[in-house]
Structure 1
């Protein structure tokens, strides 16, 4: 897609706002819509155009990008607003694979392109993007996706992007839970958790969560980059996807319950690294 491509961007939240800003900075003509007036003001400050409705944002668009909380919002946007058959629809939300397939049946020129990397990745334009859909549509969308992401992979047909994202989320949840358990064990044993995790981060236990979040977790800083509420939704997607193909994911089920416990304990608005608080509560160390 050349510079100046007319892009409609629906969903200007924690992730969508910086993504839309990068597209504006890259020279694209971005018209955005969000229910938040503050989000629309941010887009205009970035050089984009604020729309008064989804239909207004869609008008004249060559590419439509949606970045919304869950499948009901995506379905409302896509199924209740007319899209020209030639428009390339790129849904970057995290939703059920079955919904992505249903969208493609209605609008064949669509891609499911969920992302990983959180708010930091969105701000740094370093997101990982897993894309499901037709190869030709992926090729057409790739120049736009390269503006907001660094690892961009066509993983299969419609719905495949969402399956890969579900796998990502179950792994991320599991790693957060294990890092939390490691911190609780180290502290209860009188071991400096920073020294302990620094060593682990240099060995076979190394992972991106240790790299990015160990210090903030030890400090109990849980400002959301990705809220427990949203991870709870994503774990439901993972379990639903497993049911659709008749496979058992026993560890995923346990992680889903830990995240559900986080919501029940009142931590839904905190970062998903707040699983540490859940583990502490189980051990009576809160």
Structure 2
């Protein structure tokens, strides 16, 4: 049955998700701290609320799609959960920190609100066309209850149930750690190869078909070779996520030397370029150090 959805966060990812919820027949009331997001939300068929508490009033499902842990904590005071309908569910699609989410989960539980974490993998275009990846943490029973709503934003084969609370967030952070690590390691290899006299296009194609091949090499290097540093996510947010996952490694007592290196190069990129958008700006930092650009 159609749900009454409170959507908190109408940005790059929240806006296309809003449209898909509405198109699937759900009644959506949206809120964002930026009032200029009202018109895009209304143009998609959603109602607008002046606060997260007002958006949550009587809703069956609360969906949060905010930039990170600080915004999630600020957006979800106790009163938001108290405003939801009895038996409501909170679905957090934020790339959240497990420790912050645990506190918010306790707030939700105090009001009888079930929780499902489902951080997103993919781009705004993936969100618009229903091909996001969802990394889910929570009970199978709650996931089953949420499937009618999740079906509006992706397909069943793109929903990965990772385990209990916290596992979805950690999975998303691990994916990001490995992707950014691959990007910087690949850039170092390519810079070395170029300095050694190897044609970059030939090297890329050779690496792609070798034991060292990766989706980054096969899919994302073309953008870099064209001078596109992927301005779809903020360098400061990348730093924050890498700090969260390296902190989790410290807390759990696992090795994190390589993760520390990946974090360090992104911290230095942030110092160099500032809080701007660019998922591959750490590569730009390496290019500067080498005195050459990775262009075939």
User: TM-score by structure 1 length?
Assistant: 0.91
1:44 partnered with 2:42: yes
1:7-56 CA deviation, whole Å, 9 max, x = no partner?
11111111111122121122211111112233221111112222221122
Give the Å deviation of 1:118.
3.2
1:202 partnered with 2:209: yes
Task: Determine helix, strand or coil for the equivalent of 2:80.
Answer: coil
1:273 partnered with 2:280: yes
The match for 2:99 is 98
1:116 partnered with 2:121: yes
Give the Å deviation of 1:190.
4.1
Unaligned 5+ segments in structure 1 are none
Out of 56, 66, 72, which is 1:68 matched to? 66
Distance across 2 between alignment mates of 1:229 and 1:40: 26
Out of 237, 242, 253, which is 1:235 matched to? 242
Distance across 2 between alignment mates of 1:145 and 1:196: 41
Task: Determine helix, strand or coil for the equivalent of 2:177.
Answer: helix
1:228-252 CA deviation, whole Å, 9 max, x = no partner?
2211111011012112212121111
Question: Which stretch shows the higher mean deviation, 261-270 or 233-242?
Answer: 261-270
Distance across 1 between alignment mates of 2:147 and 2:171: 18
Distance across 2 between alignment mates of 1:124 and 1:175: 27
Distance across 2 between alignment mates of 1:55 and 1:154: 29
The match for 2:108 is 107
Distance across 1 between alignment mates of 2:59 and 2:201: 50
Give the Å deviation of 1:162.
1.2
Task: Determine helix, strand or coil for the equivalent of 2:291.
Answer: coil
Return closer, same or farther for 1:49/1:245 CA change in 2, 3 Å cut-off. Answer: same
The match for 2:53 is 55
Distance across 2 between alignment mates of 1:204 and 1:111: 37
The match for 1:159 is 166
Q: Is the 8 A contact 1:16 1:67 kept in 2?
A: yes
Distance across 2 between alignment mates of 1:183 and 1:133: 41
Give the Å deviation of 1:139.
1.0
**RMSD over equivalenced CA pairs, Å:** 1.9
Distance across 2 between alignment mates of 1:214 and 1:220: 10
Unaligned 5+ segments in structure 2 are none
Return closer, same or farther for 1:202/1:25 CA change in 2, 3 Å cut-off. Answer: farther
The match for 1:89 is 90
Q: Is the 8 A contact 2:250 2:256 kept in 1?
A: no
Out of 8, 11, 19, which is 1:10 matched to? 8
Q: Is the 8 A contact 1:239 1:249 kept in 2?
A: yes
Give the Å deviation of 1:207.
2.5
Task: Determine helix, strand or coil for the equivalent of 2:79.
Answer: coil
User: TM-score by structure 2 length?
Assistant: 0.88
